Amino acid sequence: MKVLFLTTHLNAGGITSYLYTLSKGLMARGDEVCILSSGGNNVGQFTSMGVQHFSFDIKTKSELSPKLYFSLKPIVNIIKKHGIDILHAQTRVTQVMGTLLQRKCSLPYVSTCHGFFKPKLSRKMFPCWGDKVIAISPAVKDHLIEDFSVYADEIALVKNGIELNNFPLVEEQARAEGRKQKDITGSLVVGIIARLSDVKGHEVLIDAMAEVFREVPDATLIIVGEGKMEAALKERVASLGCEKQVRFFPTVNQTYEFLSLFDLFVMPSLQEGLGLSVMEAQAAGLPVIASKVGGLPSLIDDQKTGVLVEPQDRAGLTQAILELSSQKDKAKQMGLQARDFINQECSAGKMSEQTSEVYRAVSGKHT
């Protein structure tokens, strides 16, 4: 089977990581993978493993952008020339494209819902989910049913997969050497890897860590990511007098570069489809503290494979960080149990197998 992924770009982020893992898994199963996007700094990672990339200027947030419609005819030609068997869209813009391309090419088409959409009238009138929509968590599946009236049998629940070999357990000596290279010091290093967006809860984490610093003065908070909230977050850090204890780093392609430095990983999101960076932290054997929102509770069995706190609960988050930092044996065991959970329930192989089953199911309807 020859699959064409449709996505707006291939810069670092959750969708790009999802596509990379899925591409690798599908190709290992004998499928061919092509990607159509506006490009990005990760294109080389895909082409180097044999994925064919088609570049079109479709990087827009508007589903009505003329650039989408001007691209349709040449994309149809590519689909026919390269014998594409199935279309798989990743974003709202490419979902609209996928629907139009399906009509022109009579191909099976699926989409993946990676998070939560605002229930706008246009999404309800023109859903564009395809023959089947993949939900990455039970919370996202419920969102599709409750907010968009998608029938349950039109949704396939397929959790994101993690390639465990990319996230080996970290030895203490390696952690110490890595911290030294990045000039990170302290007896406790707490980290978050996420885009700097208001829905990720960075402000809650910064406020909580200001309290942690009073108890553990040599602790460090590492914030990895980029986004519109960067200036505001740095101002908040400055207003709390924590500039020396909070370090900001730009987005990285390989998150293990920083995960291997952390003692604790925290994701205080206000909204989260599933939480790929949380899964990666769990795969690396890190104890994780996360908000009880969206798909995060499906990843964390509270007090066993991580700790759940209420969203925007600064005091609760502070307490959870301090408790885990002082109970090292418990934290270590929690991280190991989380890694086992990822291996059993969220493996890359399982994701590619289940996604392939979706492809076969919708392809059968078009024969």
Render pLDDT for 259-291 as a digit per residue (tens, 0 to 9): 999 999 999 999 999 999 999 999 999 999 999
Per-residue pLDDT, 367? 62
What whole-number distance in Å separates Cα of residue 93 and Cα of residue 165? 33
Encode pLDDT of 72-122 as tens digits.
Answer: 999 999 999 999 999 999 999 999 999 999 999 999 999 999 999 988 888
Give DSSP secondary structure letters for 262-290: -SEEEE--SS-SS-HHHHHHHHTT--EEE
User: Please, where are the H alpha helices in the chain?
Assistant: 14-28, 43-47, 66-81, 92-105, 121-125, 138-148, 172-181, 202-215, 230-239, 256-259, 276-283, 314-326, 328-345, 348-365
Residue 341 scores a pLDDT above 90: yes
Residues in the chain: 367
Give the amino acid at 301: D
Per-residue pLDDT, 364? 82
Encode pLDDT of 125-157 as tens digits.
Answer: 899 999 999 999 999 999 999 999 999 999 999
Burial-class residue 236 by CB neighbours within 10 Å (0-12, 13-18, 19+): middle
Integer distance in angstroms from the first to the last C-alpha of the chain? 14
For the chain, the average pLDDT equals: 95
Mean pLDDT of 202-223: 97
Identify the structural domains of the chain with CATH numbers, from first to last: 2-161+347-365 (3.40.50.2000), 164-345 (3.40.50.2000)
Partners of residue 222 on adjacent β-strands: 191, 247
Is the Cβ–Cβ distance between 264 and 289 less than 8 Å? yes
For residue 164, give Cα distances in angstroms to 210, 253, 320: 34, 16, 27
| Residue that has been written with the tokens 């009579």 in this structure | 106
Pairing mode of beta strands 264-267, 246-249: unpaired
For residue 11, give Cα distances in angstroms to 14, 43, 122, 364: 9, 8, 27, 33
Pairing mode of beta strands 2-6, 32-37: parallel
What whole-number distance in Å separates Cα of residue 268 and Cα of residue 233? 14
366 band by pLDDT with thresholds 50, 70 and 90 = confident
Residues with Cβ within 8 Å of residue 288, at least 6 apart in sequence: 264, 265, 266, 267, 278, 281, 282, 300, 305, 306, 307, 334, 335, 338
Signed CA dihedral, 243, 321, 284, 184: sign only: positive
Encode pLDDT of 171-190 as tens digits.
Answer: 888 899 999 999 998 899 99
Mean pLDDT of 293-320: 97
* Exposure b/e, 182-205, CB count within 10 A at least 16 = b: eebebebbbbbbbbbbebbbbbbb
